Amino acid sequence: MEGASSRDQRAETSNLLKDETVESSNSTFFTDEELAKLKSDYDMGGVEKVKTVVQQKVTQLDNTELNVAVTGQTGAGKSSFINAMRGLEFDDEGAAEVDTVETTMEPTGYKHPSLPNVCFWDLPGIGTNKFPANKYLNKMKFKSYDFFIIISACRFTENDTKLAREIKRLGKNFYFVRSKIDCDLYSKRKRGRQCNEEEELNKIRNDCVSKLQEAGIPSPRVYLISNFDLNLYDFSLLNKALEDGLPNIKKSVYILALPNVSLEILEKKRKELRKRIWMSATLSGGIGAVPVPGVSLAFDSVIIIKEIVHFRQCLGLDNSSLQSLAKRVGKPVEDLKAVVTTPLVRGEITPDVINRLAWGATAVAASAIELALDTIPVIGSIFGAGSSFFFTYKLLSAALDDLTESAQKVAMAAFGTENNPNQTSVQ
C-alpha cells in the first residue's frame, strides 16, 4: 500500500512536470502528446512504465534514416560535395568517384562513415538522353529522399529549374548550391584584377538569383560554397536552412552527421547529444535514495559505454575519424591526438573506466541532492532523487563536456586556430 509520503512526492512530481512541459518540449525529441503520455504512464505505473516509452523513443532515434539527394550537371562538384560532407578525401576508401565526365548512371548511395543511417545519394545529371527532365524524378525514386541539393559550378540550367519546380510540386524541399566559389575568386585574382571578395560573392549570388527568377523560381535562395573549405562562404547558412527544413529527429541526425569544420558545429553537436542523456539515465536502472560517499553506485555500465562510444563517433574522436581528418589537413595524426585531454578517447571504454569516472563524479556531486531542473528535460523531475538516474546523468554530462572540449582542441589543431579558441569558424 502506498504511504502518505510517497503520495505527496508523486503529487509534487506531477506539479513539477506541469511547470516544465512547455520548456522541455522544445529541448527533447518528444511531442507534447508524448510528454503528456510520459506523465500519465508515470502516474499509473511508475518508473518501469516510463522506461518502456523511453526505450521506444531511443530505438526510434537509433533507427531514423536520413537520405540526402545531390544532383546537378556533369562537373558541378556533386561527388566532391558528398565526400566533403562525409569528411573524406577523393582517394579514401568508400569515397564517391570524382571525375570530369558523368560517372553516375544510377542513384548511388554513400553512407556516412560513422553514422550509417545517414546516406548521401549521388544522382545522375538531369537532362541527359538517359534521364530526360520529364521522367527524371520517377527514375530517381523521388519519395526516397528527405530533401534535394541542386549543385551548379557556373549557372543553373533550365533543367535545374524544371527539377526544382517539380520537387516543390511534389512537396519536398530543394536547395540551390553554387559550388567552386574558391575557383572563381582564384581566377579573378590570377588575372591580376583587384578583387573585393564580398562584392564578388554578392555579384555571383545575385546573378544566380536573378537567372532563377527569370526561369520562374520565386524568391530563390542560393548558397555559395567551396567543397574544399566548407567553413567558408555560405556553408553555415546552408546548414541552417537544411536544419530548419527537417523535422526534429531528422534535424538532430543531420547535425550529428556534419563534418567538424567549425567550433559552432561542435557546439551544436554537444546540444543534440545532451538531449539523449536523460533518456539513457532513465534506462540505467531503478530509483532510490541519492547515495552518499562510501555507498556503492547503481547504474548500467553497458548503456553508459554505448553512449560514450556514440559521443566519440559523432564528435570525430574515434580513431578512423582522426585518421581521416589528419589526412585531409595534411598533418600527422599524432599531432591531433596529442591535444586530446580526456582518457575517454584513449583505448576501449570498459566498466573499470566507468567506475573510476563515477567515483570521481561523487566527489563533485555528493552535496547536490537535487538535480537542477532547468537543465533536465521533463522526465528529470520524476527521477530527481534516483541514484541510478542521478549518477548516470551526471557522468554522461561530464563525459560529453570532456569529449566536446577535446574535439574543439582537435579542430583548432587541425585547422590552425590554436591561438584563437573563441573563434567559431575553424579556418
CA 168 – CA 2 distance, rounded (Å)? 57
Q: By mean pLDDT, which of 304-313, 339-348, 413-422 is the weakest? A: 413-422
Q: By mean pLDDT, which of 101-105, 117-121, 185-189 is the weakest? A: 101-105
Let me know: does 137 contact 163? Beta carbons within 8 Å: yes
- Written as nine digits, the cell of 265 is 558545429
Residues 6+ apart with CB under 8 A from 229: 182, 427
pLDDT surpasses 80 at 210: yes
Q: By mean pLDDT, which of 141-155, 255-269, 356-370 is the weakest? A: 356-370
pLDDT surpasses 70 at 332: yes
Query: Between 30 and 330, where is the model more confident?
Result: 330
Residue 101: per-residue pLDDT = 57
Sign of the alpha-carbon torsion through 145, 146, 149, 150: positive
Residue 134: per-residue pLDDT = 66
Supply the pTM of this predicted model.
Answer: 0.81
Encode burial over 212-237: b for 16+ CB neighbours within 10 A, e otherwise: beebebeebebbbbbbeebbbbbbbe
Residue 417: per-residue pLDDT = 57
Sign of the alpha-carbon torsion through 294, 300, 305, 310: negative
Residue 362: per-residue pLDDT = 47
- The CATH number of domain 65-257 is 3.40.50.300: yes
Residue 285: per-residue pLDDT = 59
Q: Is 171 exposed, middle or buried (0-12, 13-18, 19+ CB in 10 A)?
A: exposed
pLDDT surpasses 70 at 296: no
pLDDT surpasses 70 at 298: no
Residue 2: per-residue pLDDT = 45
- Provide the residue count of the chain: 427
Which has the closest alpha carbon to 379: 6, 24, 10, 5? 24
Query: Between 132 and 200, where is the model more confident?
Result: 200
Tell me the average pLDDT across 232-251: 91
What are the domain boundaries of the chain?
Answer: 4-62+261-415, 65-257
Instruction: Return the percentage of the chain with pLDDT > 70, whole number.
Output: 74
Residue 81: per-residue pLDDT = 92
Residues 6+ apart with CB under 8 A from 181: 201, 204, 224, 225, 226, 232, 233
pLDDT surpasses 80 at 114: yes
State which of 59-68, 184-193, 273-282, 342-351 shows the largest mean pLDDT.
59-68
Q: By mean pLDDT, which of 41-50, 282-291, 352-361, 366-375 is the weakest? A: 366-375
Residue 18: per-residue pLDDT = 40
Residue 135: per-residue pLDDT = 75
> For residue 372, which phi and psi values (nearest 5 degrees)?
-75, 105
Give me the chain's average pLDDT, please: 77
CA 243 – CA 4 distance, rounded (Å)? 48
Q: By mean pLDDT, which of 12-21, 122-131, 135-144 is the weakest? A: 12-21
Tell me the average pLDDT across 238-262: 92
Residue 132: per-residue pLDDT = 67
Q: Could you identify the residue written with the cell 567552386?
A: 180
Tell me the average pLDDT across 49-74: 87
Confidence of residue 312 (pLDDT cuts 50, 70, 90): very high
pLDDT surpasses 90 at 6: no
pLDDT surpasses 60 at 295: no
- Rounded to 10°, the helix 351-365/387-415 angle is 100
Tell me the average pLDDT across 166-186: 87
- Strands in 147-152's sheet, in edge-to-edge order, are 108-111, 118-122, 66-72, 147-152, 173-178, 222-224
CA 309 – CA 182 distance, rounded (Å)? 36
List residues bridging with 147 in a β-sheet.
Answer: 68, 173
